[in-house]
Chain A
Amino acid sequence: MALGPGRNSLATASNVVDRDAVACPSECDSLEPIVLASQQGDAKAQRELYERCEQSVYRLVVRMVGVQAAPDVAQDAFLQTFRSLRQFSGRSRFETWLYRLAVNECLQFLRRARREPCERLTREPEDRSPDKADHLQHRELLERALAQLDPDLRSVFLLREIEGLSYRELAEALEIPEGTVASRLNRARTELQRLLRELGWEL
Chain B
Amino acid sequence: MNCSAVQHNLSAYHDNELSPDLRAAIEEHLHTCHDCTARLAAFRELSRVAADLNDPTAPSGMWEELQTKLQRQARRGESSRSRTATTTSMRRRLATAAIVLLALSAALGIWRYQSSEQRQMRVAFGAFLDQFPRDPIAAQRTIVTKYDGQAVTLDEATKKLRYRPALPTSGDALRLEKMYILRMPCCTCVETIYKNADGETLAVFEHHDEDPGWFSNRPTIRAHCSGKPTSIVQVDNHLAATWKNQNRYLTVVGARDVEEVASLIAGFQQPDTQ
Contacts and interface: CB of A to CB of B under 8 A. Distances in A.
Contacts of A10: 47, 50-51
Interface in A29-84: 47, 50-51, 54-55, 58-59, 62, 66-72, 74-75, 78-79, 82-83
B42 A161 contact: no
Contact of B56 (A11, A59, A183): A59
B259 to A, nearest CB: 8
A90 interface: no
A69 B10 contact: no
A167 B221 contact: no
B46 A189 contact: yes
A122 interface: yes
Contacts of A166: 17
A15 B62 contact: no
Contacts of B49: 138-139, 142
A51 B221 CA distance: 36
A121 B258 contact: yes
A160 interface: yes
Interface stretch (A91-99, A100-108, A110-118, A127-135): A110-118
A109 B21 CA distance: 43
B46 A192 contact: yes
Contacts of A162: 50-51, 53
A182 B273 CA distance: 34
Given A72-B244, A203-B45, A7 B55 contact: yes
Contact of A161 (B50, B223, B230): B50
A62 B274 CA distance: 11
B231 to A, nearest CB: 11
A74 B58 contact: yes
Q: A interface, by DSSP: helix, strand, loop or mixed? A: helix
Interface string A154-197: 00010011100011000000000000001101100100110000
A10 B44 CA distance: 12
B225 A142 contact: no
Interface residues of A, number: 57
Contact of A18 (B16, B42, B221): B16
B80 interface: no
Nearest to A182: B12
Contacts of A15: 13-16, 40, 44
B243 to A, nearest CB: 10
Contacts of A11: 51
**Interface-central residue, B13, B45, B227, B229, by most chain A CB under 10 Å:** B227
A124 B266 CA distance: 11
B187 to A, nearest CB: 21
Contact of A59 (B17, B47, B55): B55
Contacts of B12: 167, 182, 185
Interface in A1-31: 7, 10-11, 13-19
A119 interface: yes
**Interface-central residue, B9, B62, B222, B269, by most chain A CB under 10 Å:** B62
20 contacts: A7-B51, A13-B47, A13-B51, A15-B14, A16-B16, A18-B16, A47-B63, A55-B58, A59-B55, A79-B66, A118-B225, A119-B224, A122-B225, A142-B50, A160-B15, A161-B47, A167-B17, A185-B12, A185-B15, A189-B11
8 tightest Cβ-Cβ pairs between the two chains A and B: A68-B227, A118-B223, A58-B58, A161-B50, A122-B224, A185-B11, A10-B51, A182-B12
Interface of B: 7-17, 40, 42-47, 49-59, 62-63, 65-67, 69-70, 73, 221-230, 244, 258, 262, 269, 273-274
